[in-house]
Amino acid sequence: MNNVLLKDGNKYSGNYVATKSFSDRAVINYGKDLNSVYNEAVKRGIVDPVVFYVPEKNMVQIY
């Protein structure tokens, strides 16, 4: 199984990205605002979109 959510991450750096599902990783839309990205995906007919943040290159993340 391929664990990569997005192959062209540099293109979406610093943005939220919406895909159809974890198995269908085609990008529906993306942007800086989480709610707008989610709502636009739903508006385009995706019932339960997967939305995630693509960190900027060299960004330190602490979980």
Residue from 54, 22, 17 nearest 37 by CA? 17
- DSSP 3-state of 49: coil
pLDDT digits (tens, 9 = 90+) for 5-17: 677 777 889 999 9
pLDDT digits (tens, 9 = 90+) for 30-39: 999 999 999 9
Give the predicted TM-score (pTM) of the model.
0.82
Triad 21, 15, 58: Cα angle to 5°: 110
Give bridge partners of residue 16 from the DSSP assignment.
31, 53
